[in-house]
Structure 1
Amino acid sequence: MGEVRKLQKKLRQIGSLEIKISLTSEERLKISRKAELRSRLAELQLQLSGPQQTLGIVGDGKKEKMKRQVEDAPEALPSQTPPASKILKGEEKSKAQAMPAPAAKQRETGGGARIGRQQERTEPAKVSDHCRDVSGGCSEFDADQQLRQEEAEFETLKSSWEKAKFRLRLLEGHNDIVTCVVAVDNLVVSGSRDTTVKVWHVPTATEHKNLGGHAGGVTCLSAPPPEYCKRLARSLSLSDKERFILSGSADCCVKIWALSIGQCVKSIYTFNAVTALCFLPEEDGYFITGSDGGKVQAWSWQTFENCQSVNAHQEAVTSIQSQGPLVFSGSAEGGVSVWENRCSDRDPLRLLHHWGEQVTGCGGGSGGHLNLSPRGDRVFLSYGRAWLKILHWRTGTMSRLTNHNRITGVTDCVHQTGGLLIGSCYDLANGESSLNLFSLPQCQYLASLSWPDAPRMLCFTAWATGSGDHRWVTGGQDLIVWEQLPSSGKQRGDVTVKRDSRLESCSLESEGDTEDDEETDDYEDDEDNAEGKDIVEDGGSNSWLRCILQ
């Protein structure tokens, strides 16, 4: 078991080295051992797999196979089943689903008491509240009927995704890893460590503009809403239809680009390498930046002057997102801060909560990159492990969602669109990459999307077409457009839709259920200490940001 842990850690560290901009000869030598390490790990896992449960392999008393076991998508259901695009167009149905369906299923079968109690603790009395609001009372019959309806809706949603089809198109032009993507109308804007911002016309999959001007790798992008773009366009005597994009870079600058003319209209020097960025559409508007030193800064959209500067985190800020008047910042050391916008000219952000690594459990990850996505009272966190963490930010309660069936899987990004939660997944042991889909708000596993030789996906953006179909873009080692195809007809998609039975069987877990698995990432290689020390220095807790800042 010790050798398995050692191999898993080495592969995790090599995964961090692979996304560096430049590599030394020693680092290249370490990466060249990846196939050898994967082969040895596969041999050991095959030997250890058996009647009992082994590390990273979920056992059920029968002989388990070494590789991921996934079930092929079933045949298409009858045509009366609504297509995925229509079901997921908005969140009306998702909001109507009040209690997590797994709890209902466990109630019927009499099992899963531990997970059921955790869900009841983190999402209190939703069914009862709903019934009281509607009728002033709630009978057991009404609750059971509602639960059955929710289960039926989920089964319909799951069935639609099992027959979903996507066509993939590669956007070629960047010379290095794509670190960030945003969507604006029919355009996609991508930022890369090659220092460029590129604008792509999605319908034709062609490069529309090449925005060069940063002297360092581009780390983050943000798109202000149209009404705020109009204000800036008028002040610059540009068309009211002009759209702007903000880009942050390791060169300590935030640049504002006019997309139609392809020019930088404003460059703001922040005195710190910019590692995260978001736009806050409140009052006159603000944009919030995070730095490599843990600083959070607020800037006026009207004057472009600095309104506030706070040393909020101990290490680099890796993600900033807004939700109404709230701002959420996450950092490499695993801390999450929640801010409220007070809409003032000075110090507009007021700290509401700060939860450190002791609460989130996101510290010490091999990539040192925490990505967050807020939703109501919950924040979904990805931090380079096999799980998605869920922080209930008002109380500090934590739970986690299984995003890979082995601990060699890493989650690089998490995103929400409509009633979907999407987590990227990359298996360090075999190089397989996929997107896992979960329904919201229950966080029930729907399906996994992948294709042969899928690259590691580090960033994600999504929007819906006029017909309600999904259009996604993933960035990382490649920049790829995902176009959802109609569910009817004989069109064949490039993406394989599968279901991972292990993800379905162990979806939502209370924090601390499998703490031993988390500790394996920090396992020290005593027998090969010199080599291990070198790798840790290259792929330690802040390696992702050091890669960008080079």
Structure 2
Amino acid sequence: MGEVRKLQKKLRQIENLEIKISLTPEERFKISRKAELRSRLAELQLQLSGPQQTLGIVGDGKKEKMKRQVEHAPEALPSQTPPATKILKGEEESKAQPTPVPAARPKETGGKAEIGRQQERMGPARVSDHCRDMSGGCSDFDKEQKLQQEEAEFTSLKASWEKVKFRLRLLEGHSDIVTCVVAVDNLVVSGSRDTTVKVWHVPTATEHKHLGGHTGGVTCLSAPAPEYCKRLGQCVKSIYTFNAVTALCFVPEKDGYIITGSDGGKVQAWSWHTFENCQSVNAHQEAVTSIQSQGPLVFTGSAEGGMSVWENRCLSRDPLRLLHHWTGQVTGCGGGLGGRLSLSPRGDKVFLAYGRAWLKILHWRTGTTSRLTNHSSITGVADCVHQIGGLLIGSCYDLANGESTLNLFSLPQCRYLATLTWPDAPRILCFAAWTTGSGDHRWVTGGRDLIVWEQLPSSGKQRSDVTVKRDSRLDSCSLESEEDTEDDEETDDYEDDHDSDEGKDNRRDDAEDGGSGSWLRCILQ
């Protein structure tokens, strides 16, 4: 088992190297050994086939109590959040249909929080009287009826996803890895390591615009609402930042802010009105890899696995106030060089993907965590996590065989629904999702290929390009509390060349003092 873990670590580092913006000759040599290491790992897995291959799977026995508690816990929904974008066919319709189309419920978004007051205002906001009765004076019969109803709804939802059909369309034009994607109406905007940003017209699967101007790979994109772009017309604004920008997010509160993260761990806020720097904070030890907003809250995640939660106070100076910071030791996402944390907030929870066979769920007010298995083998890695309504989507890539999949879970219970894949599917590094006016799903995935997913009518005669399957080993998985799991944090040091990697890490620490600058280019049409 020790050799399996060593090979897994080496393959994970190789996969991380392959998506870097630039490579040294030494790193290219490491990548050239991938096929050899993968073949050896497959041989060992065959020899060790049995319980060892399903590490991280939770049985039905002692986890059942935890599972029930999670399934019936009301979501903490702060009351000051603006309503999410309308996503067709709400929950009521899905209840009325015996086999509903896989539609999404509105996203829950966050509200204000007070720093240092973790025990106050932590409880769930208003919940229905029925839910309150469940914890109080409801009879056992009523509780059992509610459980049966929830189980029937989940069974119906699961059946609908088992029948789902998608047509895949390849968007050809980038000459290197696609690192980021966003969707705007019928347009998809993609950024690539080839230094370009492209705009695609989804209905015709054609390139709409080609935007240049960057001298390095494009690592992040954000799409402001149209009303924020109208006054700018066709002009192009550029903002110089001392360190390379590795993540960004647009926050629409007040006049609007651009929140950026750098490769040195710095978080900065920029005024949308004047494009001047409003705030600069050394927030993380390594590169900021993900920034997401939820109402007045901003969430930042970094390569070392740490996460911070900020409140946007809509001030002209220092608009961001730090509410909580949790290190990689708390989130359980630390332990490797070249990490790439992806996050997706939902109420008081944040879903985290960090190149492991599981997704972490951080309750950001308290720092408690749970774990959701996303692959039945220890060689699976999750690169990105996304939500759309009542659906949680986690990407998974198997280091041992190169198979790429998307796993679907229901929210808020986080119960496994189905797995989607297709022949020769590439590793999925970024993901965006939206729904059409008729309620069908449209997704776009990026990595080696840029692919649009368009949902087809389940009753139609068109054949699906996607294979829908179920992993029976994931069926028995539930959320695990950290008390119930072994400490599985690993370092991803490539043991043959540990010294050289350590030297690279030292150079990263010096980035703040003498790092190369970057132009944050805002191209607004």
When normalised by structure 2's length, the TM-score is 0.81
Code of the residue aligned with 1:320 in structure 2: it is: I
Residue 522 of structure 1: which of 491, 503, 513 is its match?
Answer: 491
1:178 alignment counterpart: 178
- 1:487 counterpart SS class: coil
2:376 alignment counterpart: 405
- 1:515 counterpart SS class: coil
Deviations along 1:357-394, whole A, 9 cap, x unmatched?
12111112354111111000000001111111000011
Listed as ranges, the gaps of 5+ residues in structure 2 are 60-96, 110-121, 519-525
The Cα of 1:174 is off from its aligned counterpart by: 0.8
Cα contact 2:182–2:190 (8 A) shared by 1: yes
Task: Mark the CA change 1:452 to 1:531 in structure 2 (over 3 Å): closer, same or farther.
Answer: same
Task: Mark the CA change 1:132 to 1:90 in structure 2 (over 3 Å): closer, same or farther.
Answer: closer
Residue 471 of structure 1: which of 429, 433, 442 is its match?
Answer: 442
Deviations along 1:147-191, whole A, 9 cap, x unmatched?
111111110000000010111111111111111100111100001
Provide the C-alpha distance between the structure 2 equivalents of 1:279 and 1:302, rounded to a whole number of angstroms: 12
2:421 alignment counterpart: 450
Listed as ranges, the gaps of 5+ residues in structure 1 are 61-79, 96-121, 239-257, 259-263
The Cα of 1:421 is off from its aligned counterpart by: 0.5
Deviations along 1:217-241, whole A, 9 cap, x unmatched?
1111111123323xxx23x4x4xxx
- 1:296 counterpart SS class: strand
Provide the C-alpha distance between the structure 2 equivalents of 1:344 and 1:310, rounded to a whole number of angstroms: 15
Task: Mark the CA change 1:419 to 1:20 in structure 2 (over 3 Å): closer, same or farther.
Answer: same
Provide the C-alpha distance between the structure 2 equivalents of 1:461 and 1:180, rounded to a whole number of angstroms: 9
1:215 alignment counterpart: 215
- 1:522 counterpart SS class: coil
Provide the C-alpha distance between the structure 1 equivalents of 2:362 and 2:105, rounded to a whole number of angstroms: 24
2:343 alignment counterpart: 372
Q: Does 2:311 match 1:294?
A: no
Provide the C-alpha distance between the structure 2 equivalents of 1:540 and 1:407, rounded to a whole number of angstroms: 30
- 2:264 counterpart SS class: coil
- 1:337 counterpart SS class: strand
1:272 alignment counterpart: 243
Q: How does 1:22-421 map to 2 (within 5 A)?
A: 22-50=22-50, 53=52, 56=55, 81-85=98-102, 88-91=103-106, 130-132=130-132, 137-229=137-229, 233-234=230-231, 236=232, 238=233, 258=234, 264-365=235-336, 367-421=338-392
Code of the residue aligned with 2:459 in structure 1: it is: S
Task: Mark the CA change 1:128 to 1:278 in structure 2 (over 3 Å): closer, same or farther.
Answer: closer
Cα contact 1:372–1:382 (8 A) shared by 2: yes
Task: Mark the CA change 1:325 to 1:133 in structure 2 (over 3 Å): closer, same or farther.
Answer: farther
Residue 395 of structure 2: which of 424, 429, 432 is its match?
Answer: 424
- 1:168 counterpart SS class: strand
Provide the C-alpha distance between the structure 2 equivalents of 1:485 and 1:360, rounded to a whole number of angstroms: 38
Deviations along 1:418-460, whole A, 9 cap, x unmatched?
2111011000011000111011111111001001110001100
Task: Mark the CA change 1:313 to 1:396 in structure 2 (over 3 Å): closer, same or farther.
Answer: same
Cα contact 2:336–2:493 (8 A) shared by 1: no
Provide the C-alpha distance between the structure 1 equivalents of 2:379 and 2:318, rounded to a whole number of angstroms: 43
Provide the C-alpha distance between the structure 2 equivalents of 1:513 and 1:537, rounded to a whole number of angstroms: 36
Cα contact 2:57–2:474 (8 A) shared by 1: no
Provide the C-alpha distance between the structure 1 equivalents of 2:501 and 2:182, rounded to a whole number of angstroms: 33
Deviations along 1:484-525, whole A, 9 cap, x unmatched?
110102210110001011112123111153335x24x33778
The Cα of 1:124 is off from its aligned counterpart by: 8.2
Deviations along 1:73-116, whole A, 9 cap, x unmatched?
xxxxxxx743424xx14349x99xxxxxxxxxxxxxxxxxxxxx
- 1:279 counterpart SS class: strand
Code of the residue aligned with 2:224 in structure 1: it is: P
Task: Mark the CA change 1:511 to 1:82 in structure 2 (over 3 Å): closer, same or farther.
Answer: same
Cα contact 1:286–1:298 (8 A) shared by 2: yes
Code of the residue aligned with 2:101 in structure 1: it is: A
The Cα of 1:125 is off from its aligned counterpart by: 12
Cα contact 1:368–1:540 (8 A) shared by 2: no
Task: Mark the CA change 1:496 to 1:153 in structure 2 (over 3 Å): closer, same or farther.
Answer: same
The number of residues matched between the two structures is: 464
The Cα of 1:132 is off from its aligned counterpart by: 3.4
Cα contact 2:53–2:378 (8 A) shared by 1: no
Task: Mark the CA change 1:404 to 1:286 in structure 2 (over 3 Å): closer, same or farther.
Answer: same
When normalised by structure 1's length, the TM-score is 0.78
The Cα of 1:123 is off from its aligned counterpart by: 9.5
